[in-house]
Amino acid sequence: MALWGDTKLFLCILVITFGCTVILAEIPKDCCLKVANVTIERGRIGDYRRQVAGAGCRISAAVLVTRHQRTLCVPDNEPWVQELMKHVDQLKAWCKKRKNTGKRCSGVNRQ
């Protein structure tokens, strides 16, 4: 019957929606809880990501990832951090284009 079909569809949507909420809620396990304005040599950074306040995390931050996979929480609005992120973007693009596995690109996220 059409009515039962609708009910099943509704249940499906409910499960999908709820399932997604649970999955999304579980992702930000390693949120930066605070940031430190500690400058780091740009040569040591191989990747970064942005953390946005409200998307499961309490504060906004730039998360720097060193070539040895250690993370560092820094303020994303500091000029030196923005310069660093620009630099890392260029480095990543450079390494990706050349499929470079040499020293200069070791620990760099080539995606």
Ligand X SMILES: *[C@@H]1O[C@H](CO)[C@@H](O)[C@H](O)[C@H]1NC(C)=O
Q: Which is nearer to ligand X, 39 or 71 (CB)?
A: 39
Check binding of 39 to ligand X (CB under 6 A): yes
Q: Find the Cα–Cα–Cα–Cα dihedral 70, 30, 38, 58, rounded to 10°.
A: 170
Measured distance CA(42)–CA(35) in Å, rounded: 17
Q: Which is nearer to ligand X, 74 or 91 (CB)?
A: 74
Shortest CB 52 distance to ligand X, Å: 20
Shortest CB 90 distance to ligand X, Å: 21
Checking phi first, is residue 96 left (phi over 0); if not, alpha (psi -120 to 50) or beta? alpha
Binding stretches for ligand X (CB under 6 A): 37, 39, 78, 80
